[in-house]
Amino acid sequence: MALSVEKTSSGREYKVKDLFQADFGRLELELAEVEMPGLMACRTEFGPSQPFKGARISGSLHMTIQTAVLIETLTALGAEVRWCSCNIFSSQDHAAAAIARDSAAVFAWKGETLEEYWWCTERCLDWGVGGGPDLIVDDGGDATLLIHEGVKAEEEFEKSGKVPDPESTDNPEFKIVLTIIRDGLKTDASKYRKMKERLVGVSEETTTGVKRLYQMQESGTLLFPAINVNDSVTKSKFDNLYGCRHSLPDGLMRATDVMIAGKVAVVCGYGDVGKGCAAALKQAGARVIVTEIDPICALQALMEGIQILTLEDVVSEADIFVTTTGNKDIIMVDHMRKMKNNAIVCNIGHFDNEIDMNGLETYPGVKRITIKPQTDRWVFPETKTGIIVLAEGRLMNLGCATGHPSFVMSCSFTNQVIAQLELWNEKASGKYEKKVYVLPKHLDEKVAALHLGKLGARLTKLTKSQSDYISIPIEGPYKLRLYRY
């Protein structure tokens, strides 16, 4: 796509695939609203008081239908919003169109190049005069990363006149980040520092993004307060677990139509994501084998009748391979060469480097046959057998299907809204330092409570004497902080 910003008739900026898909997007948005009771309850509770009046929010988070409901919840609470996706394949073009036309500045489409991706991220942070956003909604930490790297480069440039050198890194994506920052220095050598000044804080919702934040906190380089939304119970134990349990088979079926029953499926990692994937595959009739480094998680899998082996043990016997680790180099090209013909390889963990895509792409004589977008068959020259790689090694549930369903995302996103409100309301109080915080348990419980009515649940209430007996307030919080659910 030609990388130029477009404008709606009302003057709002955007760049999406096709604005004409806005009507379709709107219809699906309306369906999703019914499935997202937490977000709709936020609109009801907070909408009238317009708490985000005057707040600029930039979001870097998969531009899906569910995210669209989040965006319109933020605008319903008074915010001005700019948005980009945090994954080159995860945008839903009709969702982006509806938001661009109706609600917020969006820069996102399905199938961005990496250059386009970072251009979109820049646009999302670019609020014109007066610096950047007040608040960031982040997923994976790319918006946060760009600002931190930008500030670092500006300070170095001021000090030594040195500009970032894209050739200093082997990582092709980081090359692009450095290029953008280098080029930015020419026009405004204090852009990211001005952003930093204005920024009230970020709320981040992935395991990986959160880990980056804790590392920055420890090294003392974190530039603004952060709320770790990922570790809300109603996020990590719901979105990661039940979301993946839904969207892994969805992605597999849309991409390959393969029968899961009877197959041998290997799930690499048995954290929340891996637990969801293994449950889904098992229930669909696959025989599941898990690989793990952590003996506790391994023992949990065993208690569910799941075998724990190494990838090497089963690489030539399994039919489906799923990475869920958040680590890198899980499935290497050398593993892929040994797989059965048409074995399916996919990632639902974090970055595409869980699968050795680079090793695969550069394997001598390998042939790539695109069955359809996001479904490629790679044929090895020696054996003429092929493997099927989904979403080019990126998140297969977003690349090949539509990601997690609305209901579970409503839990995650209600946490995001509450975190954003908390940061914004306390912006002047000094409550939040340049550290990483989790939401208090009573808010976590509130998120859950907002989702019970839709499912027809009726909670029991403690009596006064029960409350006294177990020393738990009638209104909660009901558990100690360490409780594991």
Residues annotated as catalytic (active site), given as ranges: 62, 85, 90, 139, 205, 230, 235, 239-240, 244, 350, 404, 412, 416
**Interface with a copy of itself (CB under 8 A), residue from 408, 423, 436, 443:** 408
Q: What residues numbered 188-227 form the site for a copy of itself, per CB under 8 A?
A: 211, 214-215
- For residue 143, what are its two tokens? 């918006």
Which residues are CB-neighbours of 259 under 8 A, at least 6 positions away?
A: none
- Candidate list 401, 417, 436, 439; residue touching a copy of itself; CB under 8 A: 401
Q: How far is the CB of 175 from a copy of itself (least distance, A)?
A: 18
Q: How far is the CB of 12 from a copy of itself (least distance, A)?
A: 26
On whether 131 is known to bind a ligand per the annotation, the reply is: no
Q: Which of residues 320-339 bind a copy of itself (CB under 8 A)?
A: 326-329
Buried b (16+ CB within 10 A) or exposed e, 76-92: bbbbbbbbbbbbbbbbb
The 366-385 contact track toward a copy of itself, x by CB under 8 A, reads ---x-xx----x--------
> Distance between CA atoms of 185 and 409, rounded to whole angstroms?
38
d(CA 157, CA 275): 46
Residue owning tokens 């961005």: 112
For a copy of itself, the closer CB: 329 or 361: 329
Binding of residue 122 to a copy of itself (CB under 8 A): no
Work out which of 13, 317, 338, 440 binds a copy of itself, going by CB under 8 A: 317
Which of 8, 50, 171, 310 binds a copy of itself (CB under 8 A)? It is: 310
Rg (CA), the chain: 23
Applying CB under 8 A, among 60, 234, 414, 420 the residue interacting with a copy of itself is 234
Backbone angles phi, psi at 50, to 5 degrees: 45, 60
Number of H helices, E strands in the chain: 20, 17
Stretch that binds a copy of itself, among 101-109, 134-142, 428-436, 456-464 (CB under 8 A): 456-464
Q: How far is CA 462 from the centre of its chain?
A: 37
Q: Residue 195 or 260: which CB sits closer to a copy of itself?
A: 260
Q: Taking the mean position of all CA atoms in its chain, how far away is CA 228?
A: 13
Closest to a copy of itself by CB, 221 vs 466, is 466
One of 307, 338, 379, 427 touching a copy of itself (CB under 8 A): 307
Point out which span in 149-157, 168-176, 355-363, 448-456 binds a copy of itself (CB under 8 A). 448-456
Cα gap 166→248, rounded to integer Å: 36
Q: Rule CB under 8 A: say whether 397 interacts with a copy of itself.
A: no
18-47: contacts with a copy of itself (CB under 8 A): 24, 27-28, 31-32, 34-35
239 is in an annotated binding site: yes
* 450 and 41 Cβ atoms separated by less than 8 Å: yes
The correct pick among 90, 406, 415, 416 for binding a copy of itself (CB under 8 A) is 406
Give whichever of 284 and 322 is closer to a copy of itself, judged by the CB atom: 284
* Positions 128 through 147 that interact with a copy of itself (CB under 8 A): none
Distance CA 485, CA 481 (A): 11
The token pair at 201 is: 């804080």
Query: Is 235 known to sit in a ligand binding site?
Result: yes
> Footprint of a copy of itself on residues 238-297 (CB under 8 A)?
238, 242, 245-246, 249-250, 253-254, 256-264, 272, 282-288, 291-297
Q: Residue 34 Cβ, how far from a copy of itself at the closest point, in Å?
A: 5
Q: Which two tokens stand for residue 412?
A: 């995650």
Distances (CA, A) of 134 to 82, 137, 169, 201: 11, 10, 31, 7
Closest separation in Å from C-beta 405 to a copy of itself:
4
How many other C-beta atoms are found inside a 10 Å radius of the C-beta of residue 261? Answer: 11
Nearer to a copy of itself, 214 or 363 (CB): 214
Is 269 a known ligand-binding residue? yes
Strand ranges for 168-210 from DSSP E: 201-204
Q: Show the CA angle centred on residue 136, arms to residues 131 and 142, nearest 5°.
A: 100
The DSSP line for 284-321 is TTPEEEEE-S-HHHHHHHHHTT-EE--HHHHTTT-SEE
The reply on whether position 444 binds a copy of itself by CB under 8 A is yes
CA distance 474 to 77: 30
Total chain residues near a copy of itself (CB under 8 A): 113
> Coil, strand, or helix at residue 484?
coil
Q: Which of 62, 64, 107, 65 is nearest to 82 (CA)?
A: 107
| Nearest in space to 143 (alpha carbons), one of 76, 57, 23 | 57
Give least dist CB 181 to a copy of itself, A: 23
Q: Which one among 49, 113, 341, 425 touches a copy of itself, defined by CB under 8 A?
A: 341
Is 463 in a helix, a strand, or coil? coil
For residue 136, which amino acid is it? I
Under rule CB under 8 A, residue 459 binds a copy of itself: yes
Between CA 429 and CA 451 the distance in angstroms is 31
470 binds a copy of itself (CB under 8 A): yes
Residue 94 vs 123, nearer CB to a copy of itself: 94
Identify the burial level of 55 via C-beta atoms within 10 angstroms of its C-beta, where 0-12 means exposed, 13-18 middle and 19 or more buried.
buried
- Closer residue to a copy of itself (CB): 78 or 111: 111
Which residues line the annotated binding site for NAD(+)?
206-208, 240, 269-274, 292, 327, 348-350, 397
- Annotated binding-site ranges: 64, 139, 205-208, 235, 239-240, 269-274, 292, 327, 348-350, 397
